[in-house]
Amino acid sequence: MTNYVYKLRPNQTQALKISAWVDMLRSHYNWCLNDRMTQYYQQFIEGNYCDIRTKGEASPLTCFVSKSGATGNPWKDSKLDFEGKARNPRRSAGDIQITALPELKIARPWYNGIDSTVLQQNVKRLDIAYKNFFEGRGFPKFKNRSNFTSFTFVMGVKIKGNKIYLPKLGWIRFYNSRPISDGFTIKVCAVRKRQNGWYISVRIEDKSVPEYSAISVADSPKVIGCDLGITKLVHLSDGYQIENPKFSTNKKAKRTLKIRQRRVIRKTKGSKNRKKAAIRVSRFHQKIGDKRQAYQWKTANLIVSRNIDIIALEDLNISGSAIR
């Protein structure tokens, strides 16, 4: 399984529609997060209460994922266990919110224009954020326009030449810079906004391609070790060193960034000129990111082309010490 990234060429109508989708999906994501936070506050902070008539435990019905709320349909269909007894497993918060999507479309008719699978993946995106939280990576945060710029399709995507079909968006032209080989099927597509336009990441798979099999060191005489450096990018065990270009911290890049940031500060807040200057800063950062990625691929190709069998790497947190 691999990913191909292409730049889209939507017309004006399609571009406006994609932007509207992102705004609505961001609002839906924030609503779902607030719904779960409300449920937690009501259940574990305020506590449950006792119904006077039934004398049973109850919870407030102001959120979809409440413990006993009928609005969320918290119980799945009855199933038989290994003893033949009926049991009703609880739905997860994500299942409840996905089940509530038809009610969302009734209350907010403009969500009918968004593909159903895209809305479902939006809820699953929040599930992943909660999973990361329980693994110690920080509590999910509300999204704004700067950190919510993408959505995902999981079915219905077709590619024909230099056009790609996205459900409810239609056929969109794109720069077919890397044709997909025969035999590969499209699994997932993610549409993302960058400073110079819209991009789509296509995940493709060919089950006929065999997976890499593990081999032992004893069977592979040619082994090379890679060590991440500071002044140099990578030190190889055979003595070869790969230079670190320092795309964002070299003298020219620092001067260019300083000038463009100064131009932003000098513009009037809220003006169009200030927005244009901010876009120039963002595009400069994107250019640096593209250079880093291209150099990383060039470095990887250089290492694997040295006629070796095994590459040994350190288990380091390199996210904070990448190419600067």
Overall average pLDDT of the 10-23 stretch:
94
Alpha-carbon distance of 105 to 109, in angstroms, equals 5
Q: pLDDT confidence of 213, banded at 50, 70, 90?
A: low
Q: pLDDT confidence of 39, banded at 50, 70, 90?
A: confident
pLDDT at 91 over 90: no
Q: Which stretches within the chain are classed as H helix?
A: 12-40, 93-99, 101-107, 116-134, 251-266, 272-304
Overall average pLDDT of the 3-30 stretch:
93
In the chain, % of residues over pLDDT 90: 42
Overall average pLDDT of the 297-316 stretch:
83
DSSP codes of every residue in 131-195: HHHHTTS-------TTT--EEEE-S--EEETTEEEETTTEEEEE--SSPPPTT-EEEEEEEEEET
pLDDT at 232 over 90: no
pLDDT at 248 over 80: yes
Alpha-carbon distance of 99 to 87, in angstroms, equals 20
pLDDT at position 220: 63
Long-range contacts of 229-235 (CB under 8 A, 24+ apart): 230/321, 233/299, 233/323, 234/299, 234/303
pLDDT at 12 over 80: yes
Contact 273, 267 (CB under 8 A): yes
Overall average pLDDT of the 56-75 stretch:
55
Q: pLDDT confidence of 79, banded at 50, 70, 90?
A: low
In the chain, % of residues over pLDDT 70: 80
Instruction: Give residue for tokens 């493709």.
Output: 204
pLDDT at 275 over 80: yes
Overall average pLDDT of the 208-236 stretch:
77
The tokens describing 198, both together, are 């819209």
* Residues 129-156 pLDDT 10s: 999 999 988 999 999 988 999 999 998 9
The tokens describing 272, both together, are 């169009």
Contact 70, 61 (CB under 8 A): yes
Alpha-carbon distance of 249 to 286, in angstroms, equals 15
* Residues 18-37 pLDDT 10s: 999 999 999 999 999 998 88
Alpha-carbon distance of 28 to 22, in angstroms, equals 10
Question: Domain ranges in the chain?
Answer: 24-113+129-134, 223-320
Alpha-carbon distance of 217 to 171, in angstroms, equals 50
The tokens describing 149, both together, are 């710029």
Contact 192, 148 (CB under 8 A): no
Alpha-carbon distance of 125 to 94, in angstroms, equals 10
* Residues 251-263 pLDDT 10s: 999 999 999 999 9
Alpha-carbon distance of 157 to 8, in angstroms, equals 14
Alpha-carbon distance of 300 to 316, in angstroms, equals 17
